[in-house]
Amino acid sequence: MTATTPASAIPAYTADAVRRPGAGPATLEADSVSAWFGDHKVLDRVSLTMPANRVTALIGPSGCGKSTFLRILNRMHELIPSAGLAGRVLLDGGDIYDRGRRITHARREIGMVFQKPNPFPAMSLYDNVLAGLKLNRIKAGREGKDDLVEECLTKAGLWREVKDRLRQPGGALSGGQQQRLCIARSLAVRPRVLLMDEPCSALDPTSTRRIEETIADLKSEVTIVIVTHNMQQAARVSDSCAFFLAEQGTPGVIVEHGDTDAMFGRPQDTRTADYVNGRFG
């Protein structure tokens, strides 16, 4: 029988611990990743390197496995009862699926922003930003929390808009503001990689522009991987792209990947050229 560690024995962390000096952005690498839902194979031996300090866009038509791949990158795929997985996901060379690696540690290192903003609606803006600290049992003093909230909201491009109403509920914000609040919440635990699953799909053009500006500002501090169906957005925000495709009932694969300018201007595969130029998808 395994002994249970009492809560009192769990280390208390300070605000300085949240900063984790020296951690910084990480390179994320998928190595021959395949995925199933029951007997249905949805990804087939996908390999992709997502370099540190860069924005990698995952593009392709609906149903080709992009979002499934994204969820695999921070161990969300395994939460689905019928899900199966093969291959490795390496964070600076270490496999996040190693038996000795806690899922909570992987989620702290690799954050996620979802398609639909999901702030805690009845929780204040202030407490929304700090929610990840509680989940990770990270303790900080009041001054440290105040500084962290301001820092993360500033990085998410939201501080000036909400600094005088931090005690209002998160559900009172507009859709675009809620999405930026979710970005701030993700940043508060200092992830090394930030995954974004179509973060602008439900937003108006002004909110979309602000999210894109936030992405550009953040890539010096965190590696970003974004799923988007918007080809113009992929061209604007990403440094590199990976084009996913599932043809005639076959599992999703990467047809082509590389520098964004080359992918859009000089694609090597005719299917890539057809997709980025809007001829299908």
Asked whether residue 109 is domain-assigned, the answer is yes
> Tell me, what's the pLDDT at 20?
52
pLDDT tens figures, 191-201: 999 999 999 99
The pLDDT of 123-146, averaged and rounded, is 84
More reliable by pLDDT, 281 or 244: 244
Residues with Cβ within 8 Å of residue 73, at least 6 apart in sequence: 28, 30, 89, 110, 193, 195, 225
Asked whether residue 47 is domain-assigned, the answer is yes
> Tell me, what's the pLDDT at 165?
94
What is the pLDDT of the chain when averaged over all its residues? Answer: 89
Q: Where are the beta strands (DSSP E) in 18-79?
A: 28-37, 40-50, 55-59
Strand pairing category for 240-245 and 253-259: antiparallel
Residue 128 tokens, joined: 């929304």
Asked whether residue 128 is domain-assigned, the answer is no
Return the top range by mean pLDDT from 1-5, 75-79, 176-180: 176-180
In order, the DSSP letters of 70-88 are HHHTTT-GGGSTTEEEEEE
Distances (CA, A) of 138 to 5, 13, 277: 17, 5, 47
Predicted confidence band at 18 (pLDDT cuts at 50, 70, 90)? low
Residue 248 burial (10 A CB sphere; 0-12, 13-18, 19+): exposed
Output the domain CATH number for residue 267: 3.40.50.300
Q: Report which residue type is found at 116.
A: K
Asked whether residue 260 is domain-assigned, the answer is yes
Task: Judge contact between 226 and 215, C-beta under 8 A.
Answer: yes
Residues with Cβ within 8 Å of residue 105, at least 6 apart in sequence: none
Share of the chain above pLDDT 90, in %: 74
More reliable by pLDDT, 103 or 281: 103
Residues 21, 17: Cα–Cα separation, whole Å = 8
Helices (H) and strands (E) in the chain, counts: 11, 10
Task: Judge contact between 157 and 214, C-beta under 8 A.
Answer: yes
For 224, the domain range is 26-123+195-276
Residues 71, 197: Cα–Cα separation, whole Å = 9
Per the DSSP assignment, residues forming a β-bridge with 240 are 56, 259
On the question of pLDDT at 176 being above 50, the answer is: yes
> Tell me, what's the pLDDT at 255?
97
pTM for this model (two decimals): 0.88
Task: Judge contact between 117 and 182, C-beta under 8 A.
Answer: yes
Per the DSSP assignment, residues forming a β-bridge with 254 are 244
Asked whether residue 145 is domain-assigned, the answer is no
On the question of pLDDT at 8 being above 90, the answer is: no
Q: What's the total number of domains in the chain? A: 1
Asked whether residue 129 is domain-assigned, the answer is no
Asked whether residue 56 is domain-assigned, the answer is yes
> Tell me, what's the pLDDT at 79?
87
Residues 64-103 as b or e (16 or more Cβ within 10 Å = b): bbbbbbbbbbbbbbeeeeebbbebbbbbbeeebeeeeeee
Predicted confidence band at 98 (pLDDT cuts at 50, 70, 90)? very high
Asked whether residue 132 is domain-assigned, the answer is no
